[in-house]
Structure 1
Amino acid sequence: MQRTNTPTQTRSPRHQVRGRIIAKADELFRARGYAKTTIANIAQELGMSTSNIYKFFSSKNAVVEATVELNIDTLRAEVMMAAQERGTHLDRIENIVLSIIAHHRIRFENEANLYELILIANEEKWGCIRRWKILLRDIVTELVEGGMRAGEFKEGNAAATAELVLDSLTVFLHPLLHSDCAAGEMERRARTHLRFLGRAMQHATLN
């Protein structure tokens, strides 16, 4: 039987409208900030009613979370690229950490309003932040497993070891803590910390 090619799926009109709302909200939140941007502002800019916005989002916070998710999508892509760069497994973990530091640094220095939204999302533990942390844990676990197989790290429980590694790296990964360090200082400290972790994992990991 001859197969017929399935036509490429396109976004439905509803998804297109939702995407327009998120894009406009992202633009306004970056320009005006969370407090000065209302659902009415977003609706007016799009030439639609506020009731139409609420057909897609239950609240202003739901709109904000969708815009933060956009930023996390960018961070996710950067981290995935860093994880695939050449080098040892420890090198790749370091690349991930440095890419996250750079991402938060850019937001802190150049996009204060977006940085504020990211802090709110972290403080309130929104779903997009929980999903991001799970993804990061899975990526680091995979690298720790690879390092154990390659003889780079002592064999053990990769998931538990990765969890411990991430816990120890919180000071470098949480966006709130970047405001207290001069440019370059966080990166220097992260490299030193990771070299220490690498030496430790050569001799001991969790079982």
Structure 2
Amino acid sequence: MPRPETDMEAKRQQIMEAADQIIQDKGAISFTMTDLAAAAGMSQSNLYRFFESKDALAEAMAGEWFADLEVIMRELVDADMPVEEKLFAFFARRLEIKRARFEEDPELFASYMELGDEHFEVIKGYVDLADHYMATILAEAMEAGYFKGLELDAVVSLVNTMMQPFCNPKLMMQMMHLATEDRLRQVIGTILTGLNANASQRAMDGKALHVVG
């Protein structure tokens, strides 16, 4: 008789907790499924009943990492609030969660970044989903009159570049003391008031003059 799904999920959670400890002790790249089976107190063949590969394990762990962040993004897209505040909250609420995780255990945080690098194709879907939610909010801002003369794809790319210190976990580890909500609000304000086709052209012209000089 198959084991109840609740038991299966409980065991998967236990295995992921064992993986957390191994990653913290040995690093994400160094640990193997053999290590994990030993830490979880089971045979390797039994472990593969729950996770068929290290990629599958990484995907499950990524799902847990992104779960709270995805809820925030989904709720904000549907929220009835000014688009200016919505764009700020889109980054601020996720920043708060990431900062709390980093402060709770910086070494484990760094190990998760290593795991993400090793299995980037696994987490790419979550990154693309975040871009989709952000694009939805930016499109709403365009309807409100912001980013005149720019295409949505260009706005998404520019905003992604400017917001890296507030959303890229690897960069945040180095700049956590600078990634404050006050600074974030200033950056969001600058993006909304200054990002448009004319400003982008002026920046390109200035860069060209600098190269010529």
Same fold (TM over 0.5): yes
RMSD: 3.1
- Name the aligned partner's letter for residue 132 of structure 1: Y
- Match of 1:186? 180
In the alignment, the residues of structure 2 paired with residue 89 and residue 203 of structure 1 have an alpha-carbon distance, to the nearest angstrom, of 20
In the alignment, the residues of structure 1 paired with residue 126 and residue 78 of structure 2 have an alpha-carbon distance, to the nearest angstrom, of 18
- Match of 2:98? 104
TM-score, structure 2 length as denominator? 0.73
1:40 lines up with 2:37 in the alignment = yes
- Choose which of 165, 175, 182 in structure 2 pairs with 1:171: 165
- Match of 1:24? 14
- Structure 2 CA distance for partners of 1:122 and 1:60, relative to 1, 3 Å: closer
- Match of 1:151? 145
TM-score, structure 1 length as denominator? 0.75
Deviation at 1:198, TM superposition (A): 0.6
- Structure 2 CA distance for partners of 1:190 and 1:203, relative to 1, 3 Å: same
- Structure 2 CA distance for partners of 1:182 and 1:205, relative to 1, 3 Å: closer
Deviation at 1:152, TM superposition (A): 3.9
Gap runs ≥5 in structure 1: 1-11
**How many positions carry a matched residue from both structures?**
192
- Match of 1:80? 74
String of CA shifts for 1:106-157, please: whole Å, max 9, x gaps: 1111134541343113433523421111111111111121122222442541
The answer to whether the Cα contact below 8 Å between 2:139 and 2:152 also exists between their aligned partners in 1 is: yes
String of CA shifts for 1:35-93, please: whole Å, max 9, x gaps: 4573224541xxx4321212343434532332122111222112223444443223212
Deviation at 1:161, TM superposition (A): 1.0
In the alignment, the residues of structure 2 paired with residue 59 and residue 159 of structure 1 have an alpha-carbon distance, to the nearest angstrom, of 36
- Name the aligned partner's letter for residue 161 of structure 1: V
The answer to whether the Cα contact below 8 Å between 1:98 and 1:190 also exists between their aligned partners in 2 is: yes
- Name the aligned partner's letter for residue 77 of structure 1: V
- Name the aligned partner's letter for residue 16 of structure 2: D
Give the percent of matched residue pairs that are identical in Structure 1 and Structure 2. Answer: 20
The answer to whether the Cα contact below 8 Å between 1:153 and 1:203 also exists between their aligned partners in 2 is: yes
The answer to whether the Cα contact below 8 Å between 1:178 and 1:186 also exists between their aligned partners in 2 is: no
Structure with greater helix share of residues? 2
In the alignment, the residues of structure 2 paired with residue 17 and residue 114 of structure 1 have an alpha-carbon distance, to the nearest angstrom, of 27
In the alignment, the residues of structure 1 paired with residue 133 and residue 95 of structure 2 have an alpha-carbon distance, to the nearest angstrom, of 17
In the alignment, the residues of structure 2 paired with residue 205 and residue 54 of structure 1 have an alpha-carbon distance, to the nearest angstrom, of 55
Gap runs ≥5 in structure 2: 201-213
